[in-house]
């Protein structure tokens, strides 16, 4: 769920004194796929090259060969992570079965392979500090992806509670009742803790990421997670603790967090908390626009920046989640809390100033599969790969 402009990496030329024709052919084949959209080809080609390099290095150790193994592993891991992302997008967009556990599990399995390859690459002897840093950077981002997948799975489950599948699914939100809030509050606290935990991971890894481009994406992702967690906690405050004032303060804070990630059009609608029907109509337009960006992979890898907002630092898939789920949810909650507070306080209101404390977050455990070289091929520890989605 990151815009990775620099991957796949180009494999540098091998010094002529240790150049082997078979290795050179494989290296050139890998580089020829750099702009390819076939992630399976990227995986297969780089994995085949890794096998050849490992076999060669068993008799001829060299920092140059180690560098080739590491870069090819980074590229193969990138291929696995992109396949995982494609499945995430498919699972989320599947209105007929938005919580298909098999799709989410398949995505996680690819993600674990990506992490495992980077772990293997970081253990290769004689690699440079630069490459080791690169491996650790991408491993951190891919681990966070695995945790974010759990957040997205919970969002998919909540969508089925918010509105049914179908062309007019948003019409349900226009008649949102307290009974709907009761249904959401049953899961809002554990889901919020998950989002808070992932936000904490964003805090912890941003300091270890050297790329300004990627660091900015992590900070934008944290804003998204903070907004989501506040929206979910507000439901708990409103329904379970009957604290409408804190609920309203939380949703206002959530809006403040998400505003820098929105387009001007979205901000204008969000500022008018009575425009729920209009924002739901607009949501369909936003979703179609974002889906076009998801299909256009050149946009994902482009170095151009949308100056309209910081949304350009978020993957189009997360922008779709914001438009499809988070903004409509915020709008319907804002209207509900405003109406309730006006009734309770007779249009006077209360001056709550964050008189609430966020609960302790809990990010899910992350595991990558273990890769090892059996003397012939780079092999996956099947037991590690078969672990269930956490």
The answer to whether residues 234 and 250 touch, using CB atoms and an 8 Å cutoff, is yes
Any idea how long the chain is? Answer: 390
Neighbours of 67 (CB within 10 A): 20
Verify cis geometry, omega within 30 degrees of 0, for the bond prior to 8: yes
Q: How many helices (H) and strands (E) does the chain have?
A: 15, 2
Residue-wise burial string across 128-164, b where 16 or more C-beta atoms lie within 10 A, e elsewhere: eeebeebbbbbbbbbbbbbbbbbbbbbbbebbeebbe
Tokens of 21: 């024709």
Which residues partner with 373 through β-bridges?
Answer: 378
Summarize pLDDT for 2-57 with one digit per residue, the tens. Answer: 999 889 999 999 987 777 899 999 999 999 986 656 899 999 999 999 999 999 99
Q: CA 117, CA 70: separation in Å to the nearest integer?
A: 9
Backbone angles phi, psi at 91, to 5 degrees: -65, -40
302 conformational bin, left if phi > 0, alpha if psi -120 to 50, beta if neither: beta
Cβ neighbors of 23 (< 8 A, separation 6 or more) are: 14, 49, 52, 53, 56, 68
The pLDDT, as a whole number, for residue 208 is 85
Strand, coil or helix: 379: strand
Q: What is the pTM of this model?
A: 0.88
Q: CA 270, CA 264: separation in Å to the nearest integer?
A: 10
How far the first Cα of the chain sits from its last, in Å, is 18
Q: Nearest Cα to 255, choosing from 218, 300, 208, 223?
A: 223
Low-confidence ranges of the chain (pLDDT < 70): 34-37, 95-98, 164-172, 174, 272-312, 343-354, 383-390
């Amino acid at each position: 769920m990151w815009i990775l402009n620099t991957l796949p990496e180009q494999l540098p030329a091998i010094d002529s004194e240790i150049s082997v024709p078979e290795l050179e052919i494989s290296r050139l084949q890998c580089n020829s796929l750099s702009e390819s959209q076939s992630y399976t080809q990227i995986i297969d080609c780089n994995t085949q090259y890794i096998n050849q390099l490992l076999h060669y290095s068993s008799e001829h150790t060299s920092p140059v060969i180690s560098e080739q193994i590491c870069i090819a592993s980074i590229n193969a891991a990138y291929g696995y992570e992109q396949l995982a992302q494609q499945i995430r997008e498919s699972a989320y967009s599947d209105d007929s079965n938005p919580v298909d556990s098999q799709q989410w599990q398949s995505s996680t399995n690819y993600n674990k392979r990506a992490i495992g390859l980077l772990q293997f690459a970081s253990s290769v002897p004689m690699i440079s500090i630069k490459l080791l840093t690169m491996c650790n950077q991408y491993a951190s981002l891919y681990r966070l992806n695995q945790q974010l997948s759990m957040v997205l799975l919970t969002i998919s489950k909540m969508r089925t509670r918010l509105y049914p599948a179908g062309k007019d699914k948003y019409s349900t939100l226009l008649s949102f009742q307290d009974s709907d809030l009761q249904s959401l509050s049953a899961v809002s606290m554990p889901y919020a803790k998950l989002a808070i935990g992932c936000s904490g991971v964003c805090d912890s890894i941003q300091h270890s990421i050297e790329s300004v481009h990627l660091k900015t994406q992590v900070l934008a992702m944290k804003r998204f997670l903070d907004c989501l967690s506040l929206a979910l906690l507000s439901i708990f405050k409103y329904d379970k603790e009957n604290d409408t004032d804190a609920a309203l303060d939380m949703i206002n804070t959530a809006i403040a967090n998400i505003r820098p990630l929105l387009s001007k059009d979205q901000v204008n609608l969000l500022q008018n908390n009575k425009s729920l029907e209009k924002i739901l109509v607009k949501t369909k337009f936003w979703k179609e626009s974002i889906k076009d960006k998801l299909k256009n992979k050149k946009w994902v890898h482009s170095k151009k920046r949308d100056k309209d907002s910081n949304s350009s630092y978020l993957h189009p898939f997360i922008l779709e989640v914001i438009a499809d789920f988070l903004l409509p949810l915020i709008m319907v909650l804002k209207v509900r809390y405003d109406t309730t507070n006006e009734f309770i306080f007779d249009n006077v209101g209360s001056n709550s100033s964050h008189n609430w404390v966020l609960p302790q977050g809990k990010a899910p455990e992350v595991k990558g599969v273990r890769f090892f070289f059996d003397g012939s091929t780079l092999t996956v520890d099947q037991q590690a790969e078969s672990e269930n989605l956490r």
